[in-house]
Amino acid sequence: MKSAPWWKEATIYQIYPRSFFDSNGDGEGDLPGVTSQLDYVKNLGVDAIWLSPFYTSPNKDGGYDVANPRDVDPRFGNLDDAKELIAQAHKRNLRVIADIVPNHFSDQHEWFQAALKAGRGSKERERFHFYDANPDGTTPNNWISLFGGPSWTQVADGQFYLHLFDSSQPDLNWENPEVNADFEKTLRFWIDLGVDGFRIDVAHGLVKEDVLTNHPDPQGLSDALRLDVAMDSEVRNALLLTVPYFDRQGVHEIYRKWRKLFDSYGQREIMAVAEAWVHPPVNATRYVRADELHQVFNFDLLTAEFDSNVLFDVVERSISLNATVNALPTWALSNHDSPRVASRIGEEQARALALFVFGLPGSTYIFAGQELGLPDGQLQDSDRQDPTFFRTNGQIKGRDGARVPLPWSGDTTPFGFSTGKPWLPISQSWKDLTVESELANPKSSLHLYRNALELRKEFLVGAGGITWLESSQHGHKGDSLLSYSRGAITVVMNLSDSAVECDADGRLLIVSGGTVDARDGKKVIPARSTAWFLA
């Protein structure tokens, strides 16, 4: 029997290279730093690493502003360092996923510099979205950037260019075949260098429609797209159906072409995962149709409350929608764009949710530091670097809190991350959250993750679908418990603030916090905790 492709139920560890490990004392993590810690990564029990961008970049948006997608930024090392990282990862049977950024380039990319020089009407400008101002001098349309402020910036000769993100990130014009040709070259470049897959940034944004048409409610739309702005869900959902620059049909044509390119590498099983924030949720499944990409992120758990109804809906919907295209879901509790899960829902809850999710079918993504139970870093405004902070005049604090470097060892900040001054300060209060200190503590979050991932591999990967035992629609305790069985394992999460009895059969394998007691033949699950039982 042919075994499932490596990515199908892989556990993938996201590394933000700037924050992982600094090998040269300049205060910023780098590729040799990642390489030096691969044993740590391997011992976690993950199957692959996803590296956030490390390409040549002025770093206005944490490297998602790429000036040369086929080279390494000196702050991270050089191409030989990338090759060595990949070789060392492969030696440990870890796959490597690179992050590709096709929606935009940096304004420092040679194409954009050439477009500025070549002027209006030139073929150089056709690689981007350059338009003349309206007769009254205003921007070509009223769209608002996802980082705040107008999504247009004017150049010296009066034309405007479109940027859905920072003004230093001009959007590429995917109607121009040169753009796809260049990206295919980039994909091949990294595959030939050894990478095993790609995370596709803003995968839903490449194709724009009606660029010269105003949106009826640009501020509402901008708020609806912003997860940190509270909004009635019906209003939000209605607005999200009107985004003129996301999830257009044309993006699927691009991924069909890319799939052929990936498949041409045969046995290497090159995979791609789409970052696609789309609405309604069923649209996400289009990215993982058989002839498109392999996975699409499910972002629901980045914002879901720790509530049994909410979590049941998220899990059930993701599994069933993906099933319609014969795909498996993905799960992520944190990433470099969102508050860390331990800060968002609480430390015990974060552990419980992780253990709950590790049992589910599909692929799990873990953001480096999540395994340590790190909270968001507490930063002063003077520390902040996220363009969102600057483009909203400080009204939105931005994503730096999740990007504070990892604490590795010792009793004093910066805890072995760097011999220099870290690019974001690491709080002294993280003393007990270092890798070293958690390795020495059998009850630490790190041990929970390591043990759980080992058990997941042994009992759950490839074990098929789940059967709900407790939820709002199953069992009797669905307000406080969520429970499913899968293969020989029963997973029970107690979301409430007191211990709850359950009927789970079998031997306790692991618990995320507290102690599971037995009472009158029943198991008692501690508050805010998840347990796995083996039948």
Residues that bind ligand NOJ (CB under 6 A): 61-62, 64, 101, 165, 201-202, 275, 336-337
Find the shortest distance in angstroms from Cβ 344 to ligand NOJ.
17
> CA 461, CA 455: separation in Å to the nearest integer?
9
- Rg value, the chain, Cα: 23
> CA 530, CA 360: separation in Å to the nearest integer?
13
For the question of residue 228 being annotated catalytic, the response is no
Find the shortest distance in angstroms from Cβ 336 to ligand NOJ.
6
Find the shortest distance in angstroms from Cβ 199 to ligand NOJ.
9
Residue 18 CA, distance from chain mean position:
16
Helix axes 250-263, 177-193, angle to 10 degrees: 30
Q: Which is nearer to ligand NOJ, 32 or 405 (CB)?
A: 405
Q: Which is nearer to ligand NOJ, 201 or 470 (CB)?
A: 201
Number of other CB atoms surrounding residue 371 within 10 Å: 27
> CA 433, CA 406: separation in Å to the nearest integer?
9
For the question of residue 503 being annotated catalytic, the response is no
Backbone angles phi, psi at 452, to 5 degrees: -65, -40
Could you tell me which residues are beta bridge partners of residue 13? 49, 366
Find the shortest distance in angstroms from Cβ 471 to ligand NOJ.
31
What's the CA angle centered on 488, arms 530 and 358, to 5 degrees?
40
Answer for the pair 432, 409: CB distance below 8 angstroms, yes or no.
Answer: no
Query: Reduced to 3 states, what is the DSSP secondary structure of residue 29?
Result: coil
**Catalytic option among 201, 348, 400, 470:** 201
Answer for the pair 128, 161: CB distance below 8 angstroms, yes or no.
Answer: yes
Q: Which is nearer to ligand NOJ, 101 or 511 (CB)?
A: 101
Find the shortest distance in angstroms from Cβ 47 to ligand NOJ.
21
Find the shortest distance in angstroms from Cβ 187 to ligand NOJ.
17
Phi-psi region of 192 (alpha: psi -120 to 50; beta: other; left: phi over 0): alpha
Q: Which is nearer to ligand NOJ, 64 or 174 (CB)?
A: 64
> CA 94, CA 96: separation in Å to the nearest integer?
7
Residue 361 CA, distance from chain mean position:
18
> CA 11, CA 43: separation in Å to the nearest integer?
13
Find the shortest distance in angstroms from Cβ 391 to ligand NOJ.
12
> CA 388, CA 393: separation in Å to the nearest integer?
8
Taken in order 484, 490, 495, 500, the sign of the CA dihedral is positive
Q: Which is nearer to ligand NOJ, 101 or 302 (CB)?
A: 101
Find the shortest distance in angstroms from Cβ 248 to ligand NOJ.
17
> CA 62, CA 55: separation in Å to the nearest integer?
10
Token digits for 102? 């096709």
C-alpha distance from residue 52 to each of 97, 143, 373, 426 (Å): 9, 28, 20, 20
Backbone angles phi, psi at 45, to 5 degrees: 100, 20
**Catalytic option among 28, 275, 438, 470:** 275
Find the shortest distance in angstroms from Cβ 430 to ligand NOJ.
23
Which residue in the block uniquely carries the two structure tokens 């691969």? 38
Q: Which residue is nearest to ligand NOJ (CB)?
A: 64
Query: Reduced to 3 states, what is the DSSP secondary structure of residue 236?
Result: helix
Answer for the pair 508, 516: CB distance below 8 angstroms, yes or no.
Answer: yes
By the 10 Å C-beta count (0-12 exposed, 13-18 middle, 19+ buried), 217 is classed as middle
Q: Which is nearer to ligand NOJ, 275 or 292 (CB)?
A: 275
Q: Which is nearer to ligand NOJ, 89 or 225 (CB)?
A: 225
Q: Which is nearer to ligand NOJ, 70 or 447 (CB)?
A: 70
Find the shortest distance in angstroms from Cβ 205 to ligand NOJ.
9
Q: Which is nearer to ligand NOJ, 6 or 390 (CB)?
A: 390
Which residue in the block uniquely carries the two structure tokens 């501020």? 219
Backbone angles phi, psi at 96, to 5 degrees: -125, 125
Q: Which is nearer to ligand NOJ, 50 or 358 (CB)?
A: 50
Residues annotated as catalytic (active site), given as ranges: 201, 275
